[in-house]
Structure 1
Amino acid sequence: MPSPRPPHLLVALSSHGFGHLSQAAPVINQLRELIPNLRLTISATFPADQIQKRILNPDVLQPVADDFGMVMRDALTVDLSASLLAYQKFHASMPERIEHLSEELLEQKVDLVLADIPYLTLAAAKKAGIPSVALCSLNWADVLEHALLLATPNALENTAASRSISPELARVGAEIVREIRGIYQQADCFLLPTPSMPMLTLTNTRAIGPVCKPGIMRRDALTLNTQVTEDVWLVLVGMGGMPFDLELDEWSTHMLGKPIHYIVAGKIAQISKHPHVISETQTGLSYSDLVASVDLILTKPGYGMFVEAAAAGVPVLYVERRDWPEAKALTDWLEVVAHCTEISTEALHRGDFEDEMRKLLELGRYDPVAATGNMQGATFLAQYLCSTGEACRG
């Protein structure tokens, strides 16, 4: 008698920075512990090694993009006009793509689709009659709608996304928002990890706790690999996988009687003339462990970095992000649970944040926040997979 088929989960990830991968991975890994024989397909355009660093033993990697998120000028700035043109093109071919993808899901015998947060994949699952769950702290309908509001004549002129668009393009954008929101509403459930945007226009949401892979403090390995003494400040500078030009030349070299060393992306490290710059590649640590091993994190508001920092009890100095609607939910939460301070984009580029950095270094670490959403999300997904009538050991 043939052995029962293991349950099959397909995970579709937005490749808009690394945040969607780092957000979904802890829930998926926890699910693998609950269902050891789970068959796991990952659909995303991240490099394979990046996926495998975050997600344990995926069975199949499909290098395809089922969405693009928003077109960005850099890590902090939305290009609304380019985004709208890209959405127009994407939606023009969407019916055919939904049809094709729904057939693929059936051929692959997928039992459940998890999206963080490509709506095309959710639409295809709906057409194929396959259960689907969204998991994310934001959704593209709300993000696009917010950008459109900033582009209206009454929008604040100092916001990065506030650029006039034609009335016709605005109407097109509003219709695309309605289409995207309708697809999210059709998912069986939209899981909102803490902290998340409110998403008040959706009625299928379910709140869970923070999701992340808490890092391990490996300070000894970090100082050994980077060849610095133990009596230094180590500051991780990360903007979430998006291109962002930074000149560190005028940044402080010492504070509170100790040298400051900045851990930055390899490209920035190569061109920087700052005497205390370290490339991320020199650290030899996973990113989660790196987050847990430094004294301070300098970043933009982003789910993965904020929650991993909070899970490690590491102070955060973050750059304002006025045109990104998720930012308020993230910063409001971080201000309650962590030691953190906001600075302006101009202050970042000038290196004019010594006072804020000094105060955070003096405050030091705080009580870590538990990643309770990992098990909550995994348990919720397991209910779908273990009700398919197939093998579900664990």
Structure 2
Amino acid sequence: MPHLLACITAHGYGHLAQTAPVLHALRERLPALRLTVWSRLPAALLRQRLPEPFELQPGAADPGMAMRSALAVDVEASAAAYRALHRDWMVSVKREAARLAALGPDLVLSNVGHLPLAAAAHAGTPALALCSLNWADIYAHYCRGRPGADVVEAQLRNAYRGAACFIQPTPSMPMADLPRRRRVGPIAASGGNRKAETCRRLGLDAGERWVLVNLGGTPGTLSLRRWPRLPGIRWVAPAAWLDSQPAGLAQESIDLPFSDLLASCDALVTKPGYGIFVEAACAGVPVLYADRDGWPEQPELVAWLEAHGRSREIPQAALAGGGLAAELEELWARPAPLPPRPTGADEAAAILLEQL
């Protein structure tokens, strides 16, 4: 029984959105696969999206980037977290290598923590990385030039270079300095449009348009209380965000898997992120997005979405007031392109199968 250890960072939900379809595709090819997951994401979320059965254990330390809000990086806190982790870098590597060796996987898959990759190399266990970004490039963008940052960056890059292969889903950052990169197609869970049945169940007007408001899994809240009530439109968002919004529809009341919920909506208001951009494009859902203050991955994500879907940037201030009527009507007036096919999960699963 082959044993895979999947390490999934808890920086937002996009890393899980990339990894889950690949693991589903791999389990289809290898039903006897033994799967262990290291992650600090909520267990209920992991159980909802990953293929059962699997064993869940807390993940290794993975700073990702600390966030001041869903749209802005806390650079000082991020730099401090990396300094703390890398102060005794080899101690951390050896500790995780011992934990990994005791578990005894045949292969490690990291999306996209660098410590599991370094630990796997130290333990002599084959390892792959899978992601549209790597934390070395993100760290360098925000922290290069700070005292000691050159050492941290070098250790980050060495960890990624130790992977037997770095799988890059479409779209992704260039990452040209990393060896053994293999590009695959877009990775997305395929959802189904279940709006009609949900409206029947909840007694709602199926003729209304649903606009999903979702900023990913990073910290931050949004109040829709001052958003205007637009004719024929319902704002779909977490109940805590609706804040007495008369045109609101609580996401929790719909009770659908997220991929089905997204596919059931007529538009999406969000920020640039791999999982939500690619799932929206593959479902044919138009997207309004607010800028993420220079997030390095954003240019590739935006360019791909503009080429394969209907999208438009909105000012961050629009998230406070919700004055989006003209933008939504303009998106809906555009002809819908043929949605891209999410071939990347099958392609990435084939690479994992080669290694296993």
**Band the TM-score falls in, shorter-chain normalisation:** over 0.9
Deviation of 1:196 after TM superposition, in Å, equals 0.3
Q: 1:102 to 1:371 in 2, by over 3 A?
A: same
Larger mean Cα displacement after TM superposition, 104-113 or 333-342: 104-113
Letter in 2 for 1:216: G
CA contact (8 A) 1:315 1:364 kept: no
Query: CA–CA distance in 2 between the matches of 1:218 and 1:366?
Result: 21
> Are residues 1:353 and 2:324 paired?
yes
Bigger relative contact order, structure 1 or 2 (CA pairs below 8 A, ≥6 apart):
1
1:318 alignment partner in structure 2: 289
Query: CA–CA distance in 1 between the matches of 2:262 and 2:38?
Result: 26
Unaligned runs of 5+ in 1: 1-5, 150-166, 386-394
2:237 alignment partner in structure 1: 264
Of 18, 25, 29, the match for 2:20:
25
2:355 alignment partner in structure 1: 384
Deviation of 1:172 after TM superposition, in Å, equals 1.9
Query: CA–CA distance in 2 between the matches of 1:61 and 1:364?
Result: 44
Query: CA–CA distance in 1 between the matches of 2:194 and 2:328?
Result: 22
- What TM-score do you get using the length of structure 1 for normalisation? 0.87
Larger mean Cα displacement after TM superposition, 10-19 or 341-350: 341-350
Aligned residues: 356
1:242 alignment partner in structure 2: 218
Q: 1:148 to 1:109 in 2, by over 3 A?
A: closer
Deviation of 1:364 after TM superposition, in Å, equals 6.6
Of 148, 159, 178, the match for 1:172:
148
Larger mean Cα displacement after TM superposition, 284-293 or 361-370: 361-370
**Cα shift readout 1:189-217 (whole Å, capped 9, x = no counterpart):** 11100000111221221110001111111
Query: CA–CA distance in 2 between the matches of 1:58 and 1:224?
Result: 33
CA contact (8 A) 1:314 1:366 kept: no
2:33 alignment partner in structure 1: 38
Q: Give the 3-state SS of the residue equivalent to 1:349 in structure 2.
A: helix
CA contact (8 A) 2:195 2:264 kept: yes
CA contact (8 A) 1:233 1:260 kept: yes
2:173 alignment partner in structure 1: 197
Q: Give the 3-state SS of the residue equivalent to 2:147 in structure 1.
A: helix
**Pairs within 5 Å for 1:1-394:** 6-148=1-143, 170-254=146-230, 258-269=231-242, 272-363=243-334, 365-385=336-356
Deviation of 1:106 after TM superposition, in Å, equals 2.0
Deviation of 1:322 after TM superposition, in Å, equals 3.0
Q: Give the 3-state SS of the residue equivalent to 2:245 in structure 1.
A: coil
Query: CA–CA distance in 2 between the matches of 1:94 and 1:222?
Result: 51
**Cα shift readout 1:18-64 (whole Å, capped 9, x = no counterpart):** 11111100001100111110100000012222111111114210023
Q: Which has the larger radius of gyration?
A: 1
Letter in 2 for 1:95: M
Q: 1:365 to 1:251 in 2, by over 3 A?
A: farther
Letter in 2 for 1:108: L
Q: Give the 3-state SS of the residue equivalent to 1:288 in structure 2.
A: helix
Where has structure 1 moved over 6 Å in runs of 4 or more? none
What RMSD in Å do the two structures reach over aligned CA positions? 1.5
Letter in 2 for 1:84: A
- What TM-score do you get using the length of structure 2 for normalisation? 0.96
Q: Give the 3-state SS of the residue equivalent to 1:72 in structure 2.
A: coil
Deviation of 1:354 after TM superposition, in Å, equals 2.4
CA contact (8 A) 2:70 2:215 kept: yes
CA contact (8 A) 1:317 1:341 kept: yes
CA contact (8 A) 1:192 1:208 kept: yes
Larger mean Cα displacement after TM superposition, 138-147 or 173-182: 173-182
Unaligned runs of 5+ in 2: none
Q: Give the 3-state SS of the residue equivalent to 2:35 in structure 1.
A: strand
| Fraction of identical pairs, as percent | 40
Deviation of 1:318 after TM superposition, in Å, equals 0.7
Query: CA–CA distance in 2 between the matches of 1:233 and 1:325?
Result: 33
Query: CA–CA distance in 2 between the matches of 1:187 and 1:12?
Result: 13
